[in-house]
Amino acid sequence: MQKMMQRLFSVLFALVFTIALVTIAAGAEDPATEVSTIDQLKEAAVTGGNFKLTADLTVNEIIVIQKDLTIDGDGHTITGTANKTFEVGNNDKSYFPENVTFKNITLTNTSCVPAQGRSIDTRIGGLTLTLDNAHLSATATNAQPLTIGGNAVDRGEITVNIQNGSTIDAGASGYSIIIYNPVNMTIKDSTVKGLYSALYFKGANKSLGSADSVVSVVNSTISSVNSFSGASNAFATVVFEDKNITLNVDKDSTISAESKGDQPQFVLVFKEVTDITINVEGKLS
């Protein structure tokens, strides 16, 4: 009887151990495929998957992300010279990724095209974009390093998570984050720095507009420094041009504005809008 119980225990233990191994294997993330060339990067954007950058790259064309994609930059830099570096999705071409992540990476756009200079430009709804220790910048006049663009055309909510020490910098003149479509955005443990504006909620035009957006700032700094002169250059760190927008700022966050020219730089500006909700526990200065 004792030997039978021992055998039964051994069988049960082996069965449990096998199930545990299967569970671990099922939950494991696919291993990252290494990317070291522009052609490999373009192919990754088409096929989707999990990729790790092993070299700095300079890209002279727009890379359109067609499928779910994770790029771990492993500390490397992608420099874009076209007016956009990455375009996420495309309604006209039926490219509809649902989850795109950039982590441990620097994305710099050096285009000189005014009102462009976009490191990442989302073009669809129904998307979750995560920037995890990602550093975006651009150098064009009126640069827009992170653009929630395109036309969402009722494909669902756009969710953006900016986290883990990420930075977004509009360079010498521009808008760090510009929002043309409704978005649910969380900026956590990160820094957003603009010149004209750091966070710009646009009204409806060719896109849906930013109405119904919710942006939450958690343990982060949002700032702008305006060094320009002339009446047309007065602006603000956060600008609202649409209705029914909610901005939450927690107690560990700061939104600030500084003027170095002859025009004022405001913390907040409301341009003929209504139903704006601002919940501030942190500091506005």
Instruction: Give burial (CB, 10 Å; 0-12/13-18/19+) of 225.
Output: middle
Q: How confident is the model at residue 230 (pLDDT cuts 50, 70, 90)?
A: low
Tell me the range of 11-15, 96-100, 193-197, 229-233 where mean pLDDT is highest: 96-100
Instruction: Give burial (CB, 10 Å; 0-12/13-18/19+) of 182.
Output: buried
Summarize pLDDT for 251-284 with one digit per residue, the tens: 999 999 998 877 788 999 998 788 999 999 999 9
Summarize pLDDT for 116-160 with one digit per residue, the tens: 789 999 999 999 999 999 999 998 888 999 999 887 666 788 999
What are the residue ranges of helices labelled H in the chain? 2-27, 38-47
Global pTM value = 0.88
Q: How confident is the model at residue 35 (pLDDT cuts 50, 70, 90)?
A: very high
pLDDT at residue 15 in the model:
40
